[in-house]
Amino acid sequence: MPTPLAIPSQLSLLASLTLYPLLFRLITPGHPSHIRFVKSREAISALHCTLVALISIYELKRHYLDRAPSTPTSLSNLEDIKSAHSGYGANLPVITIRSSLSNAITAWETGYLLQDTVILLLGARLRSQQSHTRLAKEINWRVLLWHHGGLSVALLILQWYIARGKEKGVLVIIMLMLMNASTPVGTLHWYLVNFRPGKKTAIMVANVAYLVAYAAFRVYLIYWILSAFGEQTRESAFGAYRRLRLSCQIGTATIGVTNSIWLMMSVRKFSRRYLRVTPPKKAV
């Protein structure tokens, strides 16, 4: 399917590396406080994640027919596709589809992560210098730095393959980009807790919305991606997972288990805060 807007990935990467820092500078005053600094960072994060999630949905919808289940005329190659010798899924449309828009999306994400890593480093430094100012719900700078650093390296390797015209599985990465959809809801909850603490009901609703979004876009999404593999080989999601290469099994399981554990911990924390029944006081 032809791409409606062919954007070179290198241009997308350069634009992301340039525009986000400029936007951050425009909305952040000179010599900002730690709180003002992190507020600007979170606003750009929410904007970026919304943009990437929406355009990823558009791209996946555009390629829906391209990754539809195999037709009867193509089922003669089904066993070859399934075989471990050829690498499970290596010839599936969900892996082989190439798109300049998909490449541009991954490049845009790479640029954002690289510049946001620098902003996180500056923010952590500013936070240590202004230890007297604290937010009710702080950002975990260390975890975010590790997260962004690892993803940046992986996406930079992908950009190297794209530049050589040897990229594969880009559509799967676009599926994973849908995880961004939960971030704006989490940012809203973070903002309400820190800057509108009196709005108790709104904070609770935002917390519920974030847990639902996290469950959908960071936990169930893994099952959905496996289902996309399985429907092309007439298998279940679990059957598709079993046929993945060991490295892919480990990576998929790590993401799924880690996100599931975080979700369960967050639900437990929510239950203790809002659903715990306080026993009545005994009369003296």
CA distance 17 to 26: 15
Query: Does residue 77 surpass a pLDDT of 70?
Result: no
> How confident is the model over 105-130, as pLDDT tens digits?
999 999 999 999 999 999 989 888 88
Q: What is the pLDDT of residue 136?
A: 77
Query: Does residue 6 surpass a pLDDT of 80?
Result: no
Nearest-5° angle of CA 75, CA 226, CA 49?
130
> How confident is the model over 9-29, as pLDDT tens digits?
899 999 999 999 999 999 998
Q: What is the pLDDT of residue 17?
A: 96
> How confident is the model over 254-271, as pLDDT tens digits?
999 999 999 999 999 999
More confident residue, 220 or 90: 220
DSSP letters spanning 97-138: ---HHHHHHHHHHHHHHHHHHHHHHHHHHHHHHTTT---SS-
CA distance 232 to 171: 14
The answer, as to whether pTM is greater than 0.75, is: yes
Q: List, in sequence order, the alpha helices (H) in the chain.
A: 9-27, 34-62, 78-82, 93-96, 100-129, 141-163, 170-176, 183-195, 200-214, 221-232, 237-243, 246-270
CA distance 74 to 85: 19
CA distance 284 to 84: 73
pLDDT category, 85, cuts 50, 70, 90? very low
Query: Does residue 74 surpass a pLDDT of 50?
Result: no
Is 233 within 8 Å of 82 (Cβ atoms)?
yes
Average pLDDT rounded to a whole number, residues 45-68: 88
- Per the prediction, the chain carries an average pLDDT of 87
